[in-house]
């Protein structure tokens, strides 16, 4: 079974699930990459939101290489890569351990670069392809107590712009979606009072949903955005302008 193949990393998370569902509806044969959520991966497949789920750590280049080789042999080389895998830590910068700091950088930035580096040779050979990276509004303006996360997401924006320039002559587009406060399981740690305070800072007066992010990715993956590359599409309700 081979067709228009899309690889979505972090495919079992809240945003990842919406990405898988939307791109499947868009006609892609979707492969969800994931690191640890076996049960969520099975539910994703049984719901028909992806053709398959492949377990690998984006921070490990050897695992990435093996996973993409397997996907290519079974379904065809990805023509669309969505680098969605990411982790965060809320704490004072001086309190974050070296291990956690390294892991945030390795998953968020290095993982994005690893996956892109492995899929690119086939895209370059075919003179076609699209890479969409998921950053964050905190990568644009920075967040107190999320310094490591902000730095990694800012790096993704810089990576997007640089890579877009490099591979544009090969017919490949590289863009970035920068979500604001999106209601996912990751934000369950906030109290009702904290959520109300955050909502007051959003000009549109409501939180974003994973489907809002998926819609932006769907647009950037489509032919409607054929003349768009190296751009950052903010999906944040006006919180960062």
End-to-end CA distance of the chain: 43
Query: Are 1 and 75 contacting, i.e. CB atoms less than 8 angstroms apart?
Result: yes
Q: Is 34 a catalytic residue?
A: no
SS3 per-residue string spanning 152-212: HHHHHHHHHHHHHHHHHHHCEEEEEEEECCECCHHHHHCCHHHHHHHHHCCCCCCCECHHH
Query: Choosing from 34, 75, 149, 227, which is the catalytic residue?
Result: 149
Closest to 107 in 3D by CA, of 214, 234, 233, 10: 10
Catalytic residue set: 149
């Amino acid at each position: 079974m081979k067709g228009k193949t899309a690889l979505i990393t972090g495919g079992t998370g809240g945003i990842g699930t919406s990405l898988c569902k939307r791109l499947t509806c868009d006609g892609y044969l979707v492969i969800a990459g994931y690191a640890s959520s076996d049960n969520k991966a099975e539910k994703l497949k049984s719901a028909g939101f992806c053709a398959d789920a492949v377990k690998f750590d984006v921070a490990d280049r050897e695992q990435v290489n093996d996973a993409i080789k397997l996907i290519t042999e079974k379904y065809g080389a990805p023509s669309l890569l969505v680098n969605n895998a990411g982790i965060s830590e809320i704490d004072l910068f001086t309190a974050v351990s070296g291990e956690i700091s390294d892991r945030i950088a390795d998953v968020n930035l290095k993982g994005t670069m690893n996956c892109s580096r492995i899929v690119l040779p086939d895209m370059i050979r075919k003179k076609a392809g699209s890479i969409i990276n998921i950053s964050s509004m905190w990568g644009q303006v920075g967040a107190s107590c999320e310094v490591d996360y902000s730095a990694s997401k800012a790096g993704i924006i810089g990576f997007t712009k640089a890579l877009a320039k490099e591979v544009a002559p090969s017919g490949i587009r590289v863009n970035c979606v920068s979500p604001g406060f999106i209601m996912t399981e990751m934000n369950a740690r906030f109290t009702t009072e904290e959520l109300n305070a955050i909502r007051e800072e959003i000009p549109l007066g409501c939180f974003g949903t994973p489907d809002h992010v998926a819609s932006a990715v769907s647009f950037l993956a489509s032919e409607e955005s054929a003349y768009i590359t190296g751009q950052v599409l903010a999906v944040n309700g006006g919180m960062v302008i």
